[in-house]
């Protein structure tokens, strides 16, 4: 699946998980800020599996560090669409996100969730890039947008960071499923990779599902980037957009008085 499509399905998954109402699953209900920022973050976490690839969006997000990490992950995980696209890889990403969320610093403004804030900022930055939110501006627009979003949570809902590991879980699972339904498939049980015996490799249908390299595929969407993939992603992206716009509207209404007070308190300081 293409990067932008992974990101859009990540956002849609978060809207389904975190909002309540007849059109959502509501497994982990959050307020509007959590839905909005979480959806943007999950659009980013839905891209981390492709950090095993030097030319992926995430590999170019923060050079030279992100490029070096991509090379490292590629080596450890056995190459593109290997370890990071397995249940083990997914668990590692979730544990890392949970670990980052623990990193807090006491400051004059109270306890700051520095680890969660930075991780969220990085995820939103790559999501903005993959979704081409600011196609005509350079990398600065993506980072400013990410900083603003992470800042919003830190300011208005500092207690909310507990959802970050869940966002990572949702993102990586959506990514793995997204690649599973294309012809390339994924090695779900990596590092255990069982290749089919030679005889079975010639059996039609079965050889599409159990690939010669041991990967598993349910090729409903055909090749990555196919017309079918685009068609499916139209309603998925629409669902994510509706959920996020509704959340943005409701967050703006809830936090408007607080924001006004904040601006008022800043004006004398600026004079």
Q: Which residues bind Zn ion (CB under 5 A)?
A: 49-50, 179
Distance, in Å, from the CA atom of 79 to the CA atom of 183, rounded to the nearest integer, reads 18
Q: Select 32 or 176, whichever has its Cβ closest to Zn ion.
A: 176
Distance, in Å, from the CA atom of 49 to the CA atom of 130, rounded to the nearest integer, reads 14
Is the Cα dihedral 209, 226, 136, 246 positive or negative?
Answer: negative
Least gap, CB of 49 to Zn ion (angstroms):
5
Q: Residue 37 contacts by C-beta under 8 Å, 6 or more apart in sequence?
A: 120, 124, 149, 150, 152, 153
Distance, in Å, from the CA atom of 40 to the CA atom of 266, rounded to the nearest integer, reads 28
Q: Select 15 or 48, whichever has its Cβ closest to Zn ion.
A: 48
Least gap, CB of 179 to Zn ion (angstroms):
4
DSSP 245: H
Q: CA 252 from chain center: how many Å?
A: 24
Distance, in Å, from the CA atom of 238 to the CA atom of 250, rounded to the nearest integer, reads 18
Q: Select 129 or 255, whichever has its Cβ closest to Zn ion.
A: 129
Q: Select 50 or 229, whichever has its Cβ closest to Zn ion.
A: 50
Least gap, CB of 69 to Zn ion (angstroms):
16
Q: Select 36 or 49, whichever has its Cβ closest to Zn ion.
A: 49
DSSP 30: -
Indicate the length of the chain as a whole number: 271
Q: Select 86 or 101, whichever has its Cβ closest to Zn ion.
A: 86
Least gap, CB of 13 to Zn ion (angstroms):
15
Least gap, CB of 112 to Zn ion (angstroms):
33
């Amino acid at each position: 699946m293409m990067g932008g499509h992974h990101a859009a399905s990540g956002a849609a998954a978060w809207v389904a998980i975190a909002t309540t109402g007849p059109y959502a699953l509501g497994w982990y209900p959050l307020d509007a800020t959590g839905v909005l920022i979480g959806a943007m973050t999950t659009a980013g976490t839905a891209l981390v599996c492709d950090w095993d690839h030097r030319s992926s969006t995430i590999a170019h997000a923060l050079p030279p560090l992100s490029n070096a990490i991509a090379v490292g992950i590629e080596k450890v995980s056995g190459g593109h669409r290997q370890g990071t696209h397995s249940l083990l890889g997914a668990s590692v990403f979730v544990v890392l996100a949970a670990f980052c969320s623990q990193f807090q610093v006491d400051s004059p403004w109270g306890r700051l969730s520095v680890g969660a804030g930075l991780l969220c900022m990085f995820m939103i930055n790559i999501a903005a890039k993959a979704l081409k939110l600011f196609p005509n501006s350079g990398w600065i627009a993506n980072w400013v947008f990410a900083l603003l979003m992470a800042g919003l949570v830190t300011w208005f809902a500092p207690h909310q960071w507990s959802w970050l590991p869940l966002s990572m879980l949702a993102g990586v699972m959506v990514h793995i499923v997204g690649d599973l339904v294309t012809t390339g498939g994924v090695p779900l049980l990596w590092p255990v990779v069982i290749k089919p015996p030679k005889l079975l490799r010639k059996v039609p249908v079965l050889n599409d599902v159990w690939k010669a390299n041991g990967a598993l595929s349910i090729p409903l969407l055909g090749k990555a980037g196919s017309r079918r993939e685009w068609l499916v992603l139209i309603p998925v992206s629409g669902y994510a957009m509706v959920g996020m716009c509704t959340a943005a509207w409701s967050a703006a209404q809830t936090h408007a008085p607080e924001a006004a007070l904040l601006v008022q308190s800043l004006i004398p300081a600026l004079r």
